[in-house]
Chain A
Amino acid sequence: MSLVSLSFFLFCVLLLLCYWLFPKKIQWIVLLVFSLVFYAFAGIENSFYILITAFSSWLGALWLDNVSQKSKQYIKDNKDNLTIEEKSILKNKTKRKKKLILAGILLLNFGLLCVFKYANFVIGQINTITRLFNTNTTINSLSLIIPLGISFYTFQTMGYLIDVYWEKSEACKNPLKLLLFTSFFPQITQGPISNYQQLSSQLFSEHKFDYQNFAYGFQRMVWGYFKKIAIADMLAPYVQLVFQNYNQYAGITVLIGIFFYSIQIYADFSGYMDIVCGLCRMMGIKLTENFNRPYFSKSIAEYWRRWHISLGNWFKTYLYYPIAVSRWNTKLGRKCNEIFGKSVGKNLPASIALIAVWLTTGLWHGATWGYIAWGGLNGLIIIFSMWMEPVYAFAKSKIKIKESIWKFFQVIRTFILVTFIKVLPEVGSLTAGLGLWKRIFTNHTIPTSFGTLLPFVNKLHLMAIIIGTILMLIFSLIQRKYSVGKLFNKIPTVIRIFILSLIITILIIIAFGLNNVSGGFMYEQF
């Protein structure tokens, strides 16, 4: 179900009515039913897999909990009878058992994810290799329909399972509640990936109707739709043209194209977040934020703490830290400290963890070499900056620049860097991405007019896009100090409602007016 559709609108209206009119005790059941309906819309055939994930995690978590509790209870009951050695053996046995259970369920669920997402990529690579040896054996790619949101719900639910393993979180006893956690529809297509403790407290508590939340949530939804319809969807066709035909445009046109992409992807992704966070707020549910004015970051590392925050947090919690503080890695760090000194001792373990995180992040985004390269590139830059930190600090202390100018330079530099890196996997393939970069730097044609600079752009559309982008920028600047929502709600009610209506009307006109209507308009005169 597309968020920009009549069916979604009706879905939301129905959801809000049911949620607020039914007794508070069953609010979470309303959410579960609507989440399942939303999921079913994407195709009932593939709904099976999310049930596997939810159910296996529910079972696994309870089992883990059970094993831990049993062991702890046993040790407690027999505190005086057991020697320290016996206690240690028991603890290790429990640990091993828990590890097995965890491994099994992780294997099942990540296995499913990998098959759906990466099977064809792997097959493709194998075929490439066999072709090199001139054998005629090619494996046919599987025709798989990837279950909706599998990357998101798998990660979210496995996070829960790992939390239970670490005893960070209690196991959820009610399988339906865990199913809701897994399939909660606002997050299913694009995240945010939530942590169990945070989300469960929101989902399962009873919410009292609060007008302010309702109004703020609605306003946030309208803002999200504005970003999506008036900015992102308008830029999309232009960006596509540049990506598909970069060799036909001047270098500078392609350059403008990739900046269009930066704006488009931010407007699209953060707009989506605004819509789902706004909807949740209307129900009194707080979703974790995924964006924090990312283009204002001063370094790549900071950028990844402000863009797709929930994914970064997931990788930090479940991949980076476990690798970085693992026994072998800390041993390695210690050895390096002895042999090579403090710097290497500190940076090497972190670098290893970072490589793992970034290659996985790249893969998570897509099953292509482009994405793997993209992930690796991000990782390398972060690692490089980490190693170079003392050098930068030294240089900065020697060169006298005003702090604000330096910060401004850092922001611009990061934005440009991010923009270039971002497009690498998006053009279609790694070679295409590199080709696009090449075009920007090697083609020095200077277009002589607007028509040759941006031949595919409608001036009216561009004006609308620029106005929209400036609005986004203004909002971001305001958000550094104030809440835009609070400011907006200071406006008198009727005027406020009128402004919202005006925006909504404009969005309806854009959304419906740009539609490619079915039924051939052979005699179209307009």
Chain B
Amino acid sequence: MEKLMEILMEINPDIDYKTEKNLIDGKILDSFSIVNLVAQISETFDIEISPKYLIPKYFNSVDAMWEMIQAILDEE
């Protein structure tokens, strides 16, 4: 979880990831940041994020992202 926070802080340090639940729908993270984020997450956790996960549901909050990472790890 800390690793995830680290990545997010690197991408955009001004956001309060603990409370923000609307990162995508609220247009706080744009598509460039997402691409970057995905690249970092897949490298850090050694997983492959299939495009099917690239929807707001999985990226709107840190918790959602963490759940997604867990789900992918379980699948593999």
Check A-B contact in the complex, CB < 8 A: yes
Chain A residues close to B by CB (< 8 Å): 163, 166-168, 316-318, 320-322, 324-325, 327, 329-330, 333-334, 346-347, 349-350, 353, 386
Chain A residues in 8 Å Cβ range of B50: 166
Query: For A166, A322, A325, A334, which residue has the most chain B Cβ atoms within 10 angstroms?
Result: A325
Chain B residues close to A by CB (< 8 Å): 31-32, 34-36, 38-39, 42-43, 48-52, 54-55
Contact A350:B49 (CB < 8 A) given known A325-B39, A325-B42, A334-B39: no
- Rounded to whole angstroms, the CA-CA distance of A353 and B32 in the bound complex is 10
Q: Apart from A166-B51, A325-B38, A325-B51, what are 8 other A-B pairs with CB-CB below 8 Å? A: A168-B55, A321-B35, A321-B51, A325-B39, A349-B35, A350-B35, A353-B35, A386-B32
Chain B residues in 8 Å Cβ range of A166: 50-52
Q: Are B35 and A324 in contact (CB under 8 A)?
A: yes
- Rounded to whole angstroms, the CA-CA distance of A327 and B43 in the bound complex is 10
Chain B residues in 8 Å Cβ range of A334: 39, 43
Chain A residues in 8 Å Cβ range of B52: 163, 166-168
- Rounded to whole angstroms, the CA-CA distance of A325 and B43 in the bound complex is 11
Chain B residues in 8 Å Cβ range of A163: 52
Q: Are B51 and A350 in contact (CB under 8 A)?
A: no
A-B contact count (CB 8 A): 47
Chain A residues in 8 Å Cβ range of B38: 324-325, 330
CB distance from A314 to the nearest CB of B (A): 13
CB distance from A190 to the nearest CB of B (A): 25
Contact A322:B31 (CB < 8 A) given known A330-B42, A349-B39: no
CB distance from B32 to the nearest CB of A (A): 5
Chain A residues in 8 Å Cβ range of B54: 317, 321, 325
CB distance from B15 to the nearest CB of A (A): 16
Contact A325:B49 (CB < 8 A) given known A330-B43, A346-B36: yes
Q: Please, could you name 30 A-B residue pairs with CB atoms under 8 Å apart, sorted by A?
A: A163-B52, A166-B50, A166-B51, A166-B52, A316-B31, A317-B51, A317-B54, A318-B51, A321-B31, A321-B35, A321-B51, A324-B35, A324-B38, A325-B35, A325-B54, A327-B48, A329-B39, A330-B38, A330-B39, A330-B42, A333-B36, A333-B39, A334-B43, A346-B36, A347-B32, A349-B35, A349-B39, A350-B32, A353-B35, A386-B32
Chain B residues in 8 Å Cβ range of A353: 35
CB distance from B40 to the nearest CB of A (A): 9
Chain A residues in 8 Å Cβ range of B31: 316, 320-321
Q: Is the interface of B mostly helix, strand, loop or mixed?
A: helix
Q: A325's closest neighbor in chain B, by CB?
A: B38
Chain B residues in 8 Å Cβ range of A349: 35, 39
Q: Are B51 and A322 in contact (CB under 8 A)?
A: yes
- Rounded to whole angstroms, the CA-CA distance of A7 and B44 in the bound complex is 60
Chain A residues in 8 Å Cβ range of B43: 330, 334
Q: A323's closest neighbor in chain B, by CB?
A: B35
Q: B11's closest neighbor in chain A, by CB?
A: A346
- Rounded to whole angstroms, the CA-CA distance of A346 and B39 in the bound complex is 9
- Rounded to whole angstroms, the CA-CA distance of A386 and B30 in the bound complex is 12
Chain B residues in 8 Å Cβ range of A347: 32
Chain B residues in 8 Å Cβ range of A325: 35, 38-39, 42, 49, 51, 54
Chain B residues in 8 Å Cβ range of A324: 35, 38
Q: B48's closest neighbor in chain A, by CB?
A: A327
Which 4 pairs across A and B sit closest by C-beta, in order of nearness?
A: A166-B52, A168-B52, A324-B35, A330-B39
Chain B residues in 8 Å Cβ range of A320: 31
- Rounded to whole angstroms, the CA-CA distance of A330 and B35 in the bound complex is 9
- Rounded to whole angstroms, the CA-CA distance of A168 and B54 in the bound complex is 10
- Rounded to whole angstroms, the CA-CA distance of A334 and B54 in the bound complex is 20
- Rounded to whole angstroms, the CA-CA distance of A327 and B50 in the bound complex is 10
Chain B residues in 8 Å Cβ range of A318: 51
Chain B residues in 8 Å Cβ range of A322: 51
Chain B residues in 8 Å Cβ range of A167: 52
- Rounded to whole angstroms, the CA-CA distance of A333 and B31 in the bound complex is 16
Chain A residues in 8 Å Cβ range of B32: 346-347, 350, 386
Q: A332's closest neighbor in chain B, by CB?
A: B39
Chain A residues in 8 Å Cβ range of B35: 321, 324-325, 349-350, 353
CB distance from A291 to the nearest CB of B (A): 17
- Rounded to whole angstroms, the CA-CA distance of A327 and B51 in the bound complex is 12
CB distance from A12 to the nearest CB of B (A): 34
Chain A residues in 8 Å Cβ range of B49: 325
Chain B residues in 8 Å Cβ range of A329: 39
- Rounded to whole angstroms, the CA-CA distance of A320 and B49 in the bound complex is 14
CB distance from A225 to the nearest CB of B (A): 32
- Rounded to whole angstroms, the CA-CA distance of A322 and B48 in the bound complex is 12
Chain B residues in 8 Å Cβ range of A168: 52, 55
Query: For B31, B51, B54, which residue has the most chain A Cβ atoms within 10 angstroms?
Result: B51
Chain B residues in 8 Å Cβ range of A350: 32, 35-36
Q: A87's closest neighbor in chain B, by CB?
A: B76
Chain B residues in 8 Å Cβ range of A321: 31, 34-35, 51, 54
- Rounded to whole angstroms, the CA-CA distance of A163 and B35 in the bound complex is 19
- Rounded to whole angstroms, the CA-CA distance of A173 and B38 in the bound complex is 33
Q: B31's closest neighbor in chain A, by CB?
A: A316
- Rounded to whole angstroms, the CA-CA distance of A53 and B49 in the bound complex is 29
Q: B49's closest neighbor in chain A, by CB?
A: A325
- Rounded to whole angstroms, the CA-CA distance of A281 and B63 in the bound complex is 36
- Rounded to whole angstroms, the CA-CA distance of A349 and B35 in the bound complex is 9
Chain A residues in 8 Å Cβ range of B34: 321
Chain B residues in 8 Å Cβ range of A333: 36, 39
- Rounded to whole angstroms, the CA-CA distance of A350 and B32 in the bound complex is 7
